[in-house]
Structure 1
């Protein structure tokens, strides 16, 4: 996926992760949006047209799994990539939960860009 001109929602409860991923996305020409938990992500998706969502799994209030289920129930068909410290074994169930793919933390941005090109 060419990122230039794309709107990407970054969802994470870590300010540093939001900042770093947002900065890297901007460097690739994307326009990042931000949400610090799943509830905020759902609100953002309802009021914006994103091309992609990068979703943390473990967050307070509303985690990434619940947020993804709710976003999918709204018939939103854009790619949602889990950005998580989970192992590949733990992530095997992510597709059944509505995720398009997953990227392990700490994020290797070159690996993430390759993953995005597949979606």
Structure 2
């Protein structure tokens, strides 16, 4: 995948995770904005055009699922990838039901992280031919 020039929104309340995620994106020449919580994510998603949104699920206030539902009201196109340390309380179905396109579990391996971003941005744009 050619990531150079992509612009991604990182939604993450943990400062350390923000730095790590931003560094991983910068390594691939991807620019990014950071939203510290769901409310900020909704505002930024309204104001800017992103190639993808990386959505932390567990945040104080408006969490990732709720923010995803809100964003999907005005943007059904941008891929939203849930980033979460999967706990037993989490249900992947509910992430997808909220409008997430994919899920990456923390701590994530860089290659999986990049793979998911590539798949969701580039493979979604290509028209899939139906499997006969």
Give the corresponding residue for 1:85: 85
Q: Who is 2:126 aligned against?
A: none
Mind listing any 5+ residue stretches in structure 1 that lack a counterpart? none
Distance in 2 of aligned mates of 1:87 and 1:117:
25
Q: Deviations over 1:62-111 (max 9, x none)?
A: 10000000000113411000000115972233222100000001121110
Larger radius of gyration: 2
> C-alpha distance in 2, partners of 1:113/1:32?
14
- Uncovered stretches (5+) of structure 2, i.e. residues with no partner: 121-132
SS at match of 2:66: helix
> What residue in structure 1 maps to residue 102 of structure 2?
101
The runs of at least 4 consecutive aligned structure 1 residues that moved more than 6 Å come to none
Once structures 1 and 2 are overlaid, which stretch shifts more, 64-73 or 103-112?
103-112
* Count of residue pairs brought into register by the alignment: 119
Give me the whole-angstrom Cα distance separating, in 2, the residues matched to 1:104 and 1:35. Answer: 19
Give CA deviations for 1:43-63 in whole Å, capped at 9, x if unaligned: 111111110000000101110
2:5 match: 5
User: Which piece of structure 1 moves more, 82-91 or 15-24?
Assistant: 82-91
**Corresponding residue of 2:24:** 24
- Cα distance between partner residues in 1 of 2:2 and 2:50: 14
What is the DSSP-based 3-state SS (H/G/I as helix, E as strand, rest coil) of the residue aligned with 1:102?
strand
TM-score, normalised with respect to structure 1? 0.93
**Normalised TM-score (structure 2):** 0.84
